[in-house]
A and B are shown apart, each in its own frame.
Chain A
Amino acid sequence: MIQLKTMLNCIDNSGAALVECAMVVGQKRHASIGDRIVVVVQEQRSAHAAGMASAGGTKVKRGDIRHAVVVRTRYRVGRRDGSSVRFDDNACVLINKAGDPIGSRINGVVGQELRTKKWSKILSMAPMQV
Chain B
Amino acid sequence: MNVAPISRRPLASLKGTVRKVRQQRLLARSMATASEPTSTPTNSPSPLPDHNFFTFPDRKTSRIRTAFAVYSLPRALPSASKTTLIKTDTSPLPPQTLAAPHPDPLPALCRKQISLLDPTGARTALFARTNRDAARVGDVLMVTHRRGGEPFAGVLVSIRRAGIDTAILLRGRLTKVPVEMWFKVYNRNVAGIEIVKRAKKRARRARLTYLRQPKHDVGDVQNVVFAWKKSRNVLSTKTRAPGEKQRFEPKARK
Per-residue 0/1 for B175-188: is the Cβ within 8 Å of any A Cβ (1 yes, 0 no)?
A: 11111111110010
Chain B: interface secondary structure? strand
Roughly how many angstroms separate A85 CA and B143 CA in the complex, as a whole number?
13
Per-residue 0/1 for B146-190: is the Cβ within 8 Å of any A Cβ (1 yes, 0 no)?
A: 000110100000000000010100000011111111111001010
Say yes or no for A86: interface residue by CB 8 A criterion.
yes
Is A84's CB under 8 angstroms from B182's CB?
yes
Give min CB distance, A116 to chain B, whole Å. Answer: 13
Q: A81-B187, A81-B189, A130-B152 are in contact. Are A86 and B177 (CB under 8 A)?
A: no
Query: Which residues from chain A contact B184 at a C-beta distance below 8 Å?
Result: 81-83
Is A89's CB under 8 angstroms from B182's CB?
no
Closest to B147 in A: A81
What is the total number of residues of chain B having a CB less than 8 Å from a CB of chain A?
19
Specify which of B152, B180, B187 is in contact with A86 (CB 8 Å cutoff): B180
Q: A82-B165, A82-B167 are in contact. Are A87 and B178 (CB under 8 A)?
A: yes
Q: Which of A43-81 contact B (CB under 8 A)?
A: 72, 76, 81
Say yes or no for A4: interface residue by CB 8 A criterion.
no
What is the total number of residues of chain A having a CB less than 8 Å from a CB of chain B?
19
Roughly how many angstroms separate A81 CA and B180 CA in the complex, as a whole number?
16
Specify which of B176, B177, B182, B187 is in contact with A76 (CB 8 Å cutoff): B182
Is A72's CB under 8 angstroms from B177's CB?
yes
Query: Which residues from chain A contact B179 at a C-beta distance below 8 Å?
Result: 85-88, 109, 130
Closest to A106 in B: B175
Q: A108-B175, A108-B176, A109-B175 are in contact. Are A130 and B165 (CB under 8 A)?
A: no
Chain A positions within 8 Å of B, measured between CB atoms, are 72, 76, 81-89, 91, 107-109, 127-130
10 sample A-B contacts, Cβ–Cβ < 8 Å, listed by A number: A81-B187, A83-B182, A84-B182, A85-B182, A86-B180, A88-B179, A108-B176, A109-B177, A109-B179, A130-B149
